[in-house]
Chain A
Amino acid sequence: MIERDVIILGAGPAGLSAAAELARLKVGKIAVLDREQAAGGIPRHCGHLGYGWNEFRRIMTGPAYARRLAETAGAAELKLGVTALRLEPGGVVQTTGAEGPQAWRGRAVLLALGARETPRSARLVSGARPWGVMNTGALQQFVYLHGKRPFERPVIIGSELVAFSTLLTLRHVKVRPAAMIEAGRRITAQRPGDWIARLAFGVPVLLDTRLIRILGHERVEGVEVDRGNGPERLDCDGVVFTGRFRPENALLAGSHLAVDPGTRGPAIDQLWRCSDPAYFAAGNLLRGIETAGQCWREGQAAARIIAATLLGKLAPPAASVPVQAAGALAYVYPQRLTAEDPIDPELLFFARARAATKGAIVLRGDDTVIWSRQIDALPERRIAWPVSPKDLQAHKSITVSLEPQA
C-alpha cells in the first residue's frame, strides 16, 4: 500500500489547483495521479486562447495554461500514466499503469476526474455509423496533439460555448465547417455567439434545426436535417457533436460513493465531501462543464477544506440536511448541508435548468419559502446564487425548484 496524506485523482485544472494550494498550506505528502501521459486535463489539447484570466491574469492557450498549472503544483508528486480502477472505503484507490497494479491510500482523496461530451451513440442519432463522427475533445486531440485534419467540411452539432472552441480548432487547420446546427430557437452560448460564428468564421448557423440522420458508408457523406419542412440533405464529410457534457463518473458507478442521478457526479455537502468523508470532489466531475477558471477555484476551495480536516481544524461531518432539485431543474448541488461551520461564510448553490425556462427559482426549507428570484434560465448555463447558511440549518430538508411563469 502506497500511503500519502492526500491523493488527488486527475491532473486537470481542478486537481492541479488543489495540489498547488495543499502544497502552499504544507499539508504533508501529496500525490496527483493521472491516466494520461501529460498533465493538464482538457486544456492540454485545447490549443486556442481562452484560459488563465481568473487564475494568472493572463489570457493563455490551453497547453500554456496546462504547463503553468503543472508548475504551480510542482511541490506535489505527479504520477502520470496511472489509471485509477477502483475506489474503496477509507481512501483506498486501486490503480494500474506502466508499473503494474498498485494500491494507494490517502488520508484524504480528491476526485477531480473531469467531464466529457456525450457521444453520438448516447444521443441515439439515426443513420449509418461511418468514420468521421466525433466530439470536440477528440477533434482537438487530432488537431492540436497530432497535427491532423480529420475532415474538410464537417457540420457542428450544438451551440454551447464549446462549439466555438470547435470553430477555433477547425480554423487552426483551415477547415471551414458546412454549418453549425442547433435544435433550439437560439444559440446556447452567451451572445454574441451567433454573429461571431457568422461573421468571424463565415459559418451558417442553422437554428431550430434538428439533425435527423447521418449518411455515408465508410465515411460521412452528409447529414439529413429537418428545419420544419421535412428532411433536407446537407453535404459534409464529418460530424462534430459538441457539448452535453457528462461527468467522467465510471469510477463512481462501481464504488461505495453516493451518486446524484441529476448531476451524475458524486453527491457532496457544502464542504466538497462525498458520502465517504475520506473522499472529496471538485471540478467538472461534479456536474459536467464549467470554465477551467471555475474548476480551478473549486479545486482550491476543496484543498482548503482538506487541509483544515487533516490539520484537525474541522470536525468530521455530522447529521446533514438533504437538498433536492424540483420543478424544471435538472439538478442542484451541493446535495447535502451539514451542520459544521462552513469555511466560506457565503454558501453557494449551483443548479441547471432542464430546458429554457422563464420563471422563478424558489428555495424552500421544509415548506417555507426562504428565498426566491426571477430568472430566465437556459439549460446550458449555470444558475448560481449565494445563500446564508444561517437561513438553512433549522430545516429538515431543502428543496430548490425552478417554477415556470404561468
Chain B
Amino acid sequence: MAEFDRADVVIIGGGVVGCAIFRRLALAGLKPLLLEAGEDILSGASKGNSAILHTGFDAPPGSLEVVCMQAGYREYQAIRNRLNLPLVETGALVVAWNEEQLARLPAIVAQAHQNGVEDVTQISAEELRQREPQLAPHALGAVRVPGEHIIDPWSAPLAYALQGLAHGGRIRRGCTVSGGSFDGAWSLVTERGRITAGLVINAAGNFGDRVEAICRESPFKITPRKGQFVVFDKPAAQLVKSIILPVPTERTKGIVICRTAFGNLLVGPTAEDQETRDVAEVDEQALAMLIAKGQEMLPGLAEIGVNAVYAGLRPATQFKDYQISAQPERRWITVGGIRSTGLTAALGIAGQVGDLVAQHFHPMEESAPTWTPVPNLCEERPRPYQIGGEIVCHCEWVTRGEIEAALTGPLPAGDVGGLKRRTRAMMGRCQGFYCSAQVAAIAEGRITL
C-alpha cells in the first residue's frame, strides 16, 4: 500500500489538467500525489465537454491560452498512438448563416493566420454545400479549419493518469482538500487526515478560487459557466463530416454541431452562468432550444432520436486568459480558470507547469517513458465486439471483458460515472433499459450503484 500522507508534490484536482500535470511530473521522476475529491478522476469540468481538439485558430493572439493549446495539440498528436488514443480528423467549418456573419469571416481567417494556423481559408457557399450537402441551404459561406479534430475526452486524461501511475505517481480519490497550513512545507487538511506536501499545485477547476484561498487571497473568482448538450443517435453522425462551428460572439464559441469519437453527434453547448459549482442540471427549454437549433442547421436531425443529454461546467473567471503562476516562497503553483479549451491545452499546460517546477522548485529529469495504452472506445478503430465476446451493453456494443477490465487495474472505475466513461456501457440510446441491471451485477462489490 502506497503511503498517502506525504509527497514532494501534491496536485489538487484530477480533471484533465490535473491528470496531464500528474503525468508530466511523474515522467520527470517527481512521484507526485494527486488528490481528487470525487470517487473517480474527471468528476468536474472534464466530465462534460465537446471533445474537440482545437488548433487555437480563434484564440486570443498572444495569450497563454493559445500557447498552451497549440503545445497541447502537438503533444497529443505526438503521443496518442503510444497511448492508443483516437483522433477523428474531421476538420471544422465556421459557418455564416447571415450577411453580418459572412462579413466577419475574413477577420476570422486573419486571426487564424496570426495564431499561426496557416491552412485556414474562407470557402464559398457552393464549396460549403459540396462538402456538407446535408447542411441547411441558407448557409452563405464558411471558414474552413482543416486541423480541428475530435478526440475521446475521457480516455485521454485516463491515459495520462495511468502513465503517471506507471512512473511512480500516486492517486487518491474521494479525498477533498479543505484547508492547509504552511511552514516551509504544506500540511493539507483532507477528510482522510493531514497530508504533508513540499509543493502544492492547484488544479481544482471550478473550485480553483476556493483552493487558492488556502494559499492566498484568490486573485480570481470562478463563476461556473454551464454548457448543456444533446447527443443524437448514431445515424446522425452520417449527416456531417466536419465540425460545424458558428461565428463566435464575445461570450462564447456558440452552438456547435459535432460528431463524437463514439459515433454519435452532439449539439451544444449553451453558456449559462451559475453559482453552484458541482451540479450541472439540464433543463427542458434549453434542450428543446438546442434540438431546434440543430434541426435548423441540419434538417436531417429531425428524423433522429436523442440518446443522451448532459451538461458541463466551465471554470470561468473574470479573466479571459488562463491563470497560471508560481508562488515560490509559498511553494505553490496556481493553475486556474482553464475555461473552455482545457481538454486541448492540458498537455501544454502541463509543459508550462513543468517549466515553473524546474525554474523554482525541482530539477525535471526526462526518463524513458513507459507507455500505458488505454482500451479503444472510438467507433472508427477496432473495438473488442468486432473480434467477439459476450456483449452486455447492446447499444454501444460493450463486452463483459471491457467492463471487467474497467473495474480492475491500477485505476479502476471509482463510481458509475467512471465506469460509463471508461466503457460507454449504459450511455447509448436505451440508457440502461437493457443492460443496467447486468452491469450493476458485474460491478457489485466494486462500485456502489
A121 with B306: CB separation less than 8 A = yes
Interface hit among A56-64, A138-146, A309-317: A138-146
A117 with B433: CB separation less than 8 A = yes
Q: Within 8 Å CB of B416, what residues of A? A: 131
CB neighbors of B among A103-124 (8 A)? 116-117, 119-122, 124
Taking a contact as CB atoms closer than 8 A, the residue among B283, B430, B437, B449 that contacts A119 in the complex is: B430
A83 with B394: CB separation less than 8 A = yes
B390 with A254: CB separation less than 8 A = no
Which B-chain residue is minimally distant from A259 (CB atoms)? B303
Taking a contact as CB atoms closer than 8 A, the residue among B306, B310, B394, B438 that contacts A122 in the complex is: B306
Chain A: minimal CB distance from B68 (Å): 30
**A261 beta carbon closer than 8 Å to chain B:** yes
A124 with B288: CB separation less than 8 A = yes
Given contacts A97-B391, A217-B279, A129 and B397 within 8 Å (CB-CB): no
**Residue of A128, A129, A135, A246 with most chain B CB atoms under a 10 A cut-off:** A129
Interface flags, B258-288, vs A, CB<8A=1, else 0: 0000000000000000000011111110011
B284 with A96: CB separation less than 8 A = no
B234 with A250: CB separation less than 8 A = yes
Q: Within 8 Å CB of A37, what residues of B? A: 390
Q: How far is the CA of A35 from the CA of B430 in the complex (A)?
A: 15
B234 with A96: CB separation less than 8 A = no
Taking a contact as CB atoms closer than 8 A, the residue among A97, A120, A124, A134 that contacts B436 in the complex is: A134
Q: Chain B, interface size: which category?
A: 35 or more
Q: Within 8 Å CB of A85, what residues of B? A: 397
Taking a contact as CB atoms closer than 8 A, the residue among B235, B303, B307 that contacts A121 in the complex is: B307
**B182 beta carbon closer than 8 Å to chain A:** no
Q: Within 8 Å CB of A404, what residues of B? A: none
Q: How far is the CA of A212 from the CA of B437 in the complex (A)?
A: 26
Q: Within 8 Å CB of A116, what residues of B? A: 430, 433-434
Given contacts A122-B307, A138-B436, A97 and B388 within 8 Å (CB-CB): yes
A250 with B395: CB separation less than 8 A = yes
**B220 beta carbon closer than 8 Å to chain A:** no
**A318 beta carbon closer than 8 Å to chain B:** no
CB neighbors of A among B161-186 (8 A)? none
**Residue of B278, B391, B395 with most chain A CB atoms under a 10 A cut-off:** B391
B429 with A250: CB separation less than 8 A = yes
B431 with A96: CB separation less than 8 A = no
Q: How far is the CA of A121 from the CA of B431 in the complex (A)?
A: 8
CB neighbors of A among B392-435 (8 A)? 394-395, 397, 416, 429-434
A126 with B284: CB separation less than 8 A = yes
Q: How far is the CA of A135 from the CA of B434 in the complex (A)?
A: 9
Chain B: minimal CB distance from A133 (Å): 9
B438 with A141: CB separation less than 8 A = yes
Give the number of A-B contacts (CB < 8 Å): 118
A83 with B281: CB separation less than 8 A = no
CB neighbors of A among B374-402 (8 A)? 385-391, 394-395, 397
Q: How far is the CA of A146 from the CA of B113 in the complex (A)?
A: 59
Given contacts A121-B309, A121-B431, A122-B306, A129 and B282 within 8 Å (CB-CB): yes
Given contacts A122-B305, A124-B306, A98 and B437 within 8 Å (CB-CB): no
Chain B: minimal CB distance from A285 (Å): 14
**A359 beta carbon closer than 8 Å to chain B:** no
Taking a contact as CB atoms closer than 8 A, the residue among B309, B388, B430, B433 that contacts A124 in the complex is: B309
A126 with B281: CB separation less than 8 A = yes
Q: How far is the CA of A127 from the CA of B387 in the complex (A)?
A: 39
Taking a contact as CB atoms closer than 8 A, the residue among A96, A99, A137, A250 that contacts B433 in the complex is: A137
CB neighbors of B among A82-100 (8 A)? 83, 85, 96-100
**B233 beta carbon closer than 8 Å to chain A:** yes
**A231 beta carbon closer than 8 Å to chain B:** no
B281 with A128: CB separation less than 8 A = yes
Which B-chain residue is minimally distant from A217 (CB atoms)? B279
**A148 beta carbon closer than 8 Å to chain B:** yes
B390 with A98: CB separation less than 8 A = yes
**A125 beta carbon closer than 8 Å to chain B:** yes
Q: How far is the CA of A128 from the CA of B231 in the complex (A)?
A: 17
Given contacts A83-B394, A117-B433, A124-B288, A148 and B440 within 8 Å (CB-CB): yes
**B308 beta carbon closer than 8 Å to chain A:** yes
Q: Within 8 Å CB of B309, what residues of A? A: 121, 124
**B213 beta carbon closer than 8 Å to chain A:** no
Given contacts A35-B394, A99-B388, A122-B306, A137 and B282 within 8 Å (CB-CB): no
**B136 beta carbon closer than 8 Å to chain A:** no
B305 with A246: CB separation less than 8 A = yes
Q: Within 8 Å CB of B385, what residues of A? A: 83, 96
Q: Within 8 Å CB of B358, what residues of A? A: none
**A342 beta carbon closer than 8 Å to chain B:** no
Which B-chain residue is minimally distant from A120 (CB atoms)? B431
Q: Within 8 Å CB of B304, what residues of A? A: 253
A141 with B436: CB separation less than 8 A = yes
Interface flags, A53-87, vs B, CB<8A=1, else 0: 00000000000000000000000000001010100
Given contacts A83-B394, A146-B437, A217-B279, A119 and B387 within 8 Å (CB-CB): no
A101 with B386: CB separation less than 8 A = yes
Chain A: minimal CB distance from B277 (Å): 12
Sort A-B residue pairs by CB-CB distance and give the 7 closest, nearest first: A100-B388, A141-B437, A119-B431, A253-B235, A142-B437, A126-B283, A137-B433
A-B contact pairs, 21 of them (CB 8 A): A81-B390, A83-B391, A101-B388, A116-B433, A119-B429, A119-B433, A121-B307, A122-B429, A124-B288, A128-B279, A128-B280, A129-B310, A134-B436, A141-B436, A142-B440, A145-B437, A212-B284, A217-B278, A250-B234, A253-B233, A254-B234
Query: Given contacts A83-B391, A128-B281, A141-B437, could you give 20 more A-B pairs where the C-beta distance is less than 8 Å?
Result: A35-B394, A37-B390, A83-B394, A83-B397, A96-B385, A96-B388, A119-B429, A121-B307, A127-B283, A135-B431, A135-B432, A137-B433, A137-B434, A141-B436, A141-B438, A142-B436, A142-B440, A150-B449, A248-B430, A250-B429
